[in-house]
């Protein structure tokens, strides 16, 4: 059987651990996220994403099929939506409006029009072409954009985000692909020897009593971290871990610090 491909054509949809609406939401797909279809049932498709090789189940009503040529074209394009609470896009064939999330992938545009599958869209706001060379000058702006966003297990947007979704979406603004889960991200990048070496944009990872990586955040400097815990917040950090002033205790035990962009 020939491989099948799809792309998310809605603003934000759940990717579930099992083929059920009651199943845990393990991640989310944003508009323009594309994937390979591994198997299909009457209601669900098991997919693996192109962006981060993440597997899960997606409702068949929440994507459109594309051919391999379109899949490859999207893979080779880098344009995304920049910082903003939401971005207005008009689907011209049915004259309906979508409000898209920061980081949504946008296919090649001509005079602000683009196609996704067979559908034509008009972009109402600008796109950005991520560049890792902008990282040092712009990383704080991206981090502060998400400040206060509520924690949501599996979330990847300003309206709900988890710790590794936060770090992944931050780096997406600079065209740097990191994996979806904290333990996967901990296997990437360059290991730093000491906390004092950390600089803005480095990732700090934290483990549980069993030694498993369970949390990640972004260093603001070598004494402060921004991370998603209840909400995206700024806390103090030292060699023990994250110290929450409001709770007057350490909440996460530091394991390692990694640099994703030199």
Catalytic amino acids? 163, 215, 227
Is-contact 222 167, C-beta < 8 A? Answer: no
Q: Would residue 95 be called left, alpha or beta, if left means φ above 0 and alpha means ψ between -120 and 50 degrees?
A: left
The DSSP symbol for 62 reads G
Describe the strand order of the beta sheet including 55-59 as a list of residue ranges. Answer: 25-30, 12-16, 55-59, 44-49, 34-40, 4-7, 64-66
Give ∠ CA 183-219-168 in degrees, rounded to 5.
Answer: 45
Which H helix or E strand runs over 170? helix 163-172
Count CB neighbours of 249 within 10 A: 9
Distance of CA 165 to the CA centre of its chain: 5
Residues 261, 204: Cα–Cα separation, whole Å: 14
What lies within 8 Å, CB to CB, of 24 at 6+ separation is 16, 17, 18, 153, 154
């Amino acid at each position: 059987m020939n491989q099948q491909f799809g792309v998310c054509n809605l603003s934000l949809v759940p990717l579930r651990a099992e083929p059920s609406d009651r199943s845990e939401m393990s991640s989310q797909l944003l508009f323009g996220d594309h994937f390979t279809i591994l198997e299909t049932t009457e209601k669900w498709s098991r997919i693996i994403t192109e962006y981060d090789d993440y597997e899960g189940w997606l409702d068949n009503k929440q994507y459109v099929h594309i051919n391999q040529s379109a899949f490859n074209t999207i893979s080779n394009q880098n344009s995304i939506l920049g910082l903003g609470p939401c971005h207005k896009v008009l689907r011209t064939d049915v004259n309906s409006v979508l409000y898209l999330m920061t980081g949504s992938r946008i296919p090649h545009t001509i005079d602000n029009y683009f196609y996704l599958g067979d559908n034509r869209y008009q972009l109402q706001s600008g796109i950005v072409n991520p560049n890792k060379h902008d990282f040092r000058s712009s990383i704080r702006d991206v981090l502060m954009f998400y400040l206060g966003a509520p924690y949501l297990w599996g979330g990847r947007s300003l309206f709900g985000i988890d710790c590794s979704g936060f770090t992944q979406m931050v780096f997406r603004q600079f065209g740097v692909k990191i994996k979806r889960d904290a333990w996967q991200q901990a296997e990437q990048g360059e290991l730093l020897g000491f906390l004092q070496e950390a600089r803005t944009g480095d990732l700090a990872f934290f483990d549980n009593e069993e030694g498993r990586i369970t949390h990640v955040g972004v260093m603001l400097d070598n004494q402060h971290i921004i991370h998603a815990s209840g909400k995206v917040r700024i806390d103090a950090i030292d060699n023990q871990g994250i110290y929450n002033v409001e709770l007057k205790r350490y909440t996460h035990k530091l394991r390692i610090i990694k640099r994703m962009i030199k």
